[in-house]
Every structure is written in C-alpha cells, then in structure tokens.
Amino acid sequence: MTIVIGIIHIIIAIGLILIVLLQTGRGSDIGAAFGGGSSQTLFGSSGSSSFMTKLTTIAAVVFMLTSLVLAYTYSRKGSSIRSIPVETRQSAPAPVQPSAPAQGTK
C-alpha cells in the first residue's frame, strides 16, 4: 500500500512541475508590468479559472494528501520499534575485563 501511494506521489510531483512550467505568467508581456493598458493587469480582476489552474489545484491537493499519508505511515512504522519491551531488546555485550596477572614464581 505504501509503495502504491509513493508511486502516485512521485507521478503527481512530476506532473505538478510540468503543469506549473506550462502555464504563462500573469504579467507575461512587458507592457503589463508598466501599465500598458492591458485589460488583464497584474493585480486586476481575473476571469474564470482556466483548465490549467483547476488542474494545478487538483494536483496540489492530491500531492498534499499523499504527503500526509506517507508521513503518517512512516511515523507509525518507526514507532513500532519503540514499542518493543526493554527486556526483549538485545543489548551490547559487556566489555571483556582483562584477566589478572598470574600469581606465582618470580
């Protein structure tokens, strides 16, 4: 399940990049930046949303949802390690103490 959501997440991320790059900016001509009398000014009234704007919104929402689902899924997997009781966890072996020198002849 996580792999499928991850694949969808990657496809949507690439698609979102392509959708944003294909769109033209609001001030696409230089005359609009200097008040060239264009009916679509930089901060003026905007018409109905175009298909690309709606597609961008949908892709962004799906991207955010898959991000949240993946973050929740991986945080739950990480917490399963912490739920193991301390008694069953393996600890590092105790360091070996050097033996005392032999007692005897001089």
Give the CA distances from residue 101 to residues 51, 98, 104, in Å, rounded to whole numbers and listed in that order. 86, 9, 9
pLDDT at 43: 46
pLDDT at 29: 56
What's the start-to-end Cα distance of the chain, in Å? 73
Q: Which phi and psi (to 5°) does residue 29 adopt?
A: -105, 155
pLDDT at 33: 54
Residue 73 and residue 24: Cα distance in Å, rounded? 37
pLDDT at 51: 85
Specify whether the CB–CB gap between 49 and 93 falls below 8 A.
no
pTM of the predicted model, to two decimals?
A: 0.55
Low-confidence ranges of the chain (pLDDT < 70): 26-49, 78-94, 100, 102, 104-106
Hunting for tokens 């033209």 — which residue is that? 24
Domain boundaries, the chain: 1-23+51-77
pLDDT at 4: 93
